[in-house]
Amino acid sequence: MYLWNDETIAWLDAAARYTKFYKILARRVREVLPVSPVLLEPGCGPGFFTRELAEFAGHITAVDNDERAAAELRHLGLKNVTVICADAFGLRYDRCYDAAVYCYYGGENEIIDAALGGKCGKVIAIGSVTDKHNFSLEGIRKRCFISLLDSLDRRGIKYSLEKLDLDFSQPVRSFDEAVRFLTHYSRAERAPEKEEVEKRLKPLNDDHYPLCIPAHRNVGIAVIGGKD
């Protein structure tokens, strides 16, 4: 679960603006959807992906159980987005959707249940196709998306998969901010050493963000169900 506060939201905002990560993902997702689709986005967070989807969606129901994240998305005032603060997997959805989009969110069982539940024309799951965590001192992440693909294969559920290698570098304003960022997102039970931080930082030609932590995400976009 993400911990959303002013600083973690600002970090993701900086990364999204610098790398265009969510804009690129939204372009890919758009290619497999009808015109002006009606979308469900569980685990929307502060809405950095939502605002890109909203550029072409007819309507989005965006759900997150973190009030701070939901408030951030509501503050954008997107007219074609309804924000619900609730457990996405505990809600009953009364309408049907052209697609449910799970971006780095949800376990394999929840996503497969959504794909088989009949409320969504398609389920689009986006996650990491490697077990490497860019900002962990130990370099290991959960294998949720890989486990989803394994489960789909075992159960004979058809899906298409596109793999992308995308920039997801993190701009920071100072060395101290880099330390806070790596401490927050590291899976290790210790703070990073000064040398560990220094070797990760690269200069950035930006007045507001003079430094960045370079990173790439090996992203998979799995499209489950729907007509080819």
What confidence tens digit (pLDDT) does each residue in 107-164 have?
Answer: 899 999 888 887 788 999 999 998 766 665 555 555 689 999 999 999 999 999 999 9
pLDDT at residue 162, rounded to an integer: 98
pLDDT at residue 57, rounded to an integer: 98
pLDDT band per the 50, 70, 90 thresholds, residue 105? very high
Residues linked to residue 60 through DSSP beta bridges, in sequence order: 39, 81
% of the chain residues with pLDDT over 70: 92
Assess whether pLDDT exceeds 90 at residue 79.
yes
pLDDT band per the 50, 70, 90 thresholds, residue 36? very high
pLDDT at residue 136, rounded to an integer: 59
Assess whether pLDDT exceeds 60 at residue 227.
no
pLDDT band per the 50, 70, 90 thresholds, residue 90? confident
Between 14 and 120, the higher pLDDT residue? 14
Model pTM score: 0.90
Tokens, residue 132: 């490497």
Tokens, residue 28: 């890919």
Q: For residues 184-209, b (16+ Cβ closer than 10 Å) or e, as one string?
A: ebbeeeeebeeeebeebbeebeeeeb
| Domains of the chain with bracketed CATH | 6-129+139-169+217-224 (3.40.50.150)
CB 123 within 8 A of CB 225: yes
